[in-house]
Amino acid sequence: MPELPEVEFARGVLRRAIAGRTIVRVRVLHPSLAARLPAAARRRLTGRTVRAVERRGKYQLVSLDDGRTMVVHFRMSGDWSVGRAGERDEPYARAVFDLDDGSRVSLIDPRALATLALVDDVARALPPLGPEPGDRAFTPQALAASLRRRRGAIKPALLDQRVVAGLGNIYAVEALWVARIDPRVPACRLGPARLARLVVAARAVLAAAGRERWKVYDREGEPCARCGHAVRRIVQAGRSTYFCSHCQRR
């Protein structure tokens, strides 16, 4: 589930469940999370009241009344589940936060790749992130500046969170299809017109998330919805790329 629209939705779920609440108990149910959120951190979380739940890129930021922040990243398969304290733990529950109103929030994560960390300084804890796709700062000019020296293909560049914060594999693939750009084009070779199309396309595919099925993602061999040419799958930087080699131009 987790690309930007899904993370934003999850942030809302978490905010409604936890903002203003006090954490009365923390349990970690998977060893890989226990390493990231050791006993001392779990102790410090207990008794804290949640001030706000924000988001930067795909990071969810849970700010606490002691000034610290719990930083959450879903990676491949994380999600929140809201329930009542004392109920049986859901399948794949990896961390459980009991709250002072008798509710609880669980991190559900089949692949157990999600991360939780308690940090003093959020700005220092997060890696460098580019503009949010919905930001005014995400302009063709800004894209041009960050891609100017990148001779590698545009598609892997779009997955670099320093270029734009929140695009993942599916939406990078979809945005390039909408913008009619070949994913193999060197990033630095895109001119203003195509960068402008890419900005618009990235916003559009994120805005349409959930309402429409993917146009090319996971459609290898199917006809392109625009021109009927067969959709191709290639691997770039270890990730699947789907595209139409007829109407997505080099």
Partner DNA sequence: ATAGGCCTGGAC
Partner DNA sequence: GTCCAGGCCTAT
The interface region with DNA, picked from 64-72, 134-142, 151-159, 191-199 by CB under 7 A, is 151-159
Is 58 tagged catalytic?
yes
Q: Determine the Cα–Cα distance for residues 38 and 28; give it in Å rounded to an integer.
A: 9
Q: Determine the Cα–Cα distance for residues 198 and 219; give it in Å rounded to an integer.
A: 21
Q: Determine the Cα–Cα distance for residues 75 and 60; give it in Å rounded to an integer.
A: 11
Instruction: Check: CB of residue 162 under 8 Å from CB of residue 130.
Output: yes
Residue placing its CB nearer to DNA in the complex, 16 or 151? 151
Told to check if 56 binds DNA by CB under 7 A, we report no
The count of chain residues that interact with DNA, using the rule CB under 7 A, is 33
Told to check if 150 binds DNA by CB under 7 A, we report yes
Residue placing its CB nearer to DNA in the complex, 101 or 218? 218
Q: Which of 133, 158, 132, 134 is nearest to 146 (CA)?
A: 158
Told to check if 239 binds DNA by CB under 7 A, we report yes
Told to check if 153 binds DNA by CB under 7 A, we report yes
Told to check if 222 binds DNA by CB under 7 A, we report no
Q: How far is the CB of 161 from DNA (least distance, A)?
A: 5
Q: Which of 161, 174, 215, 244 binds DNA (CB under 7 A)?
A: 161
Told to check if 183 binds DNA by CB under 7 A, we report no
Residue placing its CB nearer to DNA in the complex, 21 or 233? 233
Site for DNA in 73-132 (CB under 7 A): 73, 75-76, 92, 110-113, 127
Number of Cβ atoms within 10 Å of the Cβ of 16: 11
Backbone angles phi and psi of 32, in degrees to 5: -70, -30
Q: Determine the Cα–Cα distance for residues 26 and 42; give it in Å rounded to an integer.
A: 6
- Name the active-site residue from 48, 58, 194, 232: 58
Task: Let me know the angle formed at the C-alpha of 197 by 152 and 127, rounded to the nearest 5 degrees.
Answer: 50
Q: Determine the Cα–Cα distance for residues 206 and 202; give it in Å rounded to an integer.
A: 6
Q: How far is the CB of 66 from DNA (least distance, A)?
A: 25
Residue placing its CB nearer to DNA in the complex, 5 or 140? 5
Number of Cβ atoms within 10 Å of the Cβ of 21: 17
Q: Determine the Cα–Cα distance for residues 141 and 59; give it in Å rounded to an integer.
A: 25
Task: Let me know the angle formed at the C-alpha of 64 by 58 and 67, rounded to the nearest 5 degrees.
Answer: 105
Residue placing its CB nearer to DNA in the complex, 65 or 218? 218
Told to check if 58 binds DNA by CB under 7 A, we report yes
Q: Which residues contribute to the site for DNA (CB under 7 A)?
A: 1-3, 6, 30-32, 57-58, 73, 75-76, 92, 110-113, 127, 150-153, 156, 159, 161, 168-170, 236-240
User: Which residues are catalytically annotated?
Assistant: 2-3, 58, 239
